[in-house]
Amino acid sequence: MMKTKIYNTLLVAGITAVSLSTVSVTAAPVDETLIIDEEIEITTRAAPPEGHPLKEVISGWHYRTPETRELETDTFQNPGYLGVEQGEEIWNTAEGTEGKSCASCHGDASESMANVGATFPKWHAKMNKPVNVELQINYCRTENMGAEPYKFDKSGQKPLTAYIKNQSLGKPVELDLAAGDMQAWFDKGKETYYKRTGQLNLSCASCHEKNNGNYIRADHLSQGNVNGFPTYRLKQNKLISLHNRFRGCIRDTRAEFPAAFSDELMGLEVYVTWRGTGLSVETPAVRQ
Amino acid sequence: MSKPRIKVPKKAAAGDIISIKTLVTHQMESGQRKDKEGNVIPRKILNKFACEFNGNPVFSADIDAAISSNPFLQFSARVAESGTFKFTWTDDDGSVIEAEKTIEVS
Amino acid sequence: MNPTRRQFLTGSAIIAAGGLSTLGLPAFAAAEDVTKALADFVGDSETKTGKLTLKTPEIAENGNTVPISVSVESDMTEESYVESVMVLAEDNPLPNVITFNFTPASGKAEASTRMRLAKTQNVIAVAKMSDGTVYTDTKNIKVTIGGCGG
């Protein structure tokens, strides 16, 4: 097995003498349309924003098997919606010393949160940094509800994030990089994206930019877009948060991995979200 | 635990065969996994599912540890009259999850 | 089985993951477990093919969640119906997967679920009709292993 792993590492890292172009490990992303519940058409292929390194922005949905793709077409069968429903309950449940729920201030999420999933991370002037939905929830909990902030991936964080982002299902991702210092965080995230790390000496770009469409062992590498997070992963059979996936990916390069919501990973979230500009929000997506 | 998700059409014509889908939150611990200390994590699954219509059995399933977490079941029912479907999942620990759905048959 | 370099380079995404178990244990069902489960279910009835269809993916992207469905040709009347369909996974640690029990009120002898597969293997479905006849169908499902995280 060890030998196998090494060959693949070499293949993916692109440092083997065998050029990738001479072997047929590529399988094109499938040419199909994602329509959810026969009514919501999802943009899974988009023209890249200016300065994007790829010719086309493609959702990870296209890289999955027919059975996995089908799960996402039906909100009943998609087990991620168990989390979305749980998130809806949390939205309407008062917590903390102020006796408030999310709904007390924000009312109907389908209106108040309609664009959140498509526009976060967003510049937060008071915190002087970009925040994602998880951090915004914690800000609300501590500042407005008098409740403890959620710990990473604990209690209601994933279902509530999934519920809020799901309100933007089908809307195209578009970040406001002109706000505050967003551009500086974007630049920092870009640096992280291209920095090789770990014993395998891989950067995000090694797999998701240079080798998307190829296989790493039996895994069909996608562009690594994040428009479907929190995403239901068949491997773990539960919703997986974006920062969990970031950390898992970095861990797999055999590197030390940064803390969730650290400046390093927040910069990366800004940059990687931008790479998926134009794709519809798919939360909760279904992946392998 | 969140409520079971159940999809039953609201209306049907007498004699129609309808499709029913159910999805319920459960870890379905297989009894085949080990924890970090190497101890086997004891099996805890939903081992039985039953669907009745107006008190009569329609469909049931004897479930083993190879069924995935958050078990999904899809099956059919022939409806002759309006009434209530009753769904029951039985856990290894003896507890049950119950739910009902009504259908209007014309 | 150790995949050769050639197999990788020809782009086969399918690896019979010898010894790798998504269920976390290397022990697989012994052949006698499968034989016993079948005998318990059908007794000494002769099994035939036809009428029963087991639908599975050719390749399962993750062995933890594999969609399967069974359907049996039957009018599902009080006089003639499908009593039950048992599903077995030959090379799981425990072969039993699920048994669907139908009644004439089921209307159709069709059911779907999602199952766990420890590795590439055969999945067997066996249908028992109300008149005692027995049908089987078998499908091979290839279970792939993941990327660098495995």
Q: What is the pLDDT of residues B54-97, one digit of tens each?
A: 999 999 999 999 999 999 999 999 999 999 999 999 999 999 99
Q: What is the structure's pLDDT at C42?
A: 87
Q: What is the structure's pLDDT at A5?
A: 40
Answer whether the bond into residue C26 is a cis peptide, omega within 30°.
no
Within a domain: C64: yes
Is A85 in contact with B3 (Cβ distance < 8 A)?
A: yes
Closest CA of chain C from A60, distance in Å? 14
Within a domain: C13: no
A17 phi and psi angles, rounded to 5 deg: -70, -25
Q: How confident is the model at residue C70 (pLDDT cuts 50, 70, 90)?
A: very high
Contacts 24+ apart (CB under 8 A), A98-103: A98/A144, A98/A145, A98/A146, A100/A144, A100/A145, A100/A146, A101/A145, A102/A140, A102/A160
Within a domain: C150: no
SS3 state at C84 = strand
Is C108 in contact with B17 (Cβ distance < 8 A)?
A: yes
Is A215 in contact with C146 (Cβ distance < 8 A)?
A: no
Within a domain: C49: yes
Within a domain: C70: yes
Report chain C's mean pLDDT, rounded to a whole number.
Answer: 83
Q: How many domains does chain C have?
A: 1
Within a domain: C10: no
Q: Do residues A137 and A117 touch, judged by C-beta distance below 8 A?
A: no
Report chain B's mean pLDDT, rounded to a whole number.
Answer: 94
CATH code, domain carrying C65: 2.60.40.2470
Q: What is the largest CA-CA distance in chain C?
A: 58
Question: Which has the higher per-residue pLDDT, A30 or C113?
Answer: C113
- Residues (pLDDT < 50) of chain A are 1-24
Closest CA of chain A from C102, distance in Å? 22
Distance in angstroms (rounded) separating the CA atoms of residues A233 and A210: 24
SS3 state at A171 = coil
Q: How confident is the model at residue C150 (pLDDT cuts 50, 70, 90)?
A: low
Q: Note whether B74 contacts C: Cβ–Cβ < 8 A.
A: yes
Q: Note whether C116 contacts B: Cβ–Cβ < 8 A.
A: yes
Beta strands A231-233 and A286-287, pairing class: parallel
Helix (H) or strand (E) segment spanning residue A256 = none
Q: What is the largest CA-CA distance in chain A?
A: 64
Within a domain: C109: yes
Q: How confident is the model at residue B2 (pLDDT cuts 50, 70, 90)?
A: low
Amino acid identity for residue A29 in this structure: P
Helices and strands (H, E) in chain C, number of each type = 2, 9
Q: What is the structure's pLDDT at B88?
A: 97
Closest CA of chain B from C41, distance in Å? 12
Helices and strands (H, E) in chain A, number of each type = 12, 11
Distance in angstroms (rounded) separating the CA atoms of residues A86 and A91: 9
Is the pLDDT at B17 greater than 50, yes or no?
A: yes
Within a domain: C47: yes
The verdict on ipTM greater than 0.90 is yes
Q: What is the structure's pLDDT at A153?
A: 97
Domain that includes residue C85, residue range: 27-143
Is C149 in contact with A251 (Cβ distance < 8 A)?
A: yes
Residues of A with CB under 8 A from a CB of B: 76-77, 79, 81-82, 85-86, 89, 237-238
Q: Do residues C68 and C87 touch, judged by C-beta distance below 8 A?
A: yes
Helix (H) or strand (E) segment spanning residue A265 = helix A263-275
Of A102, A140, A204, A249, the catalytic one is A249
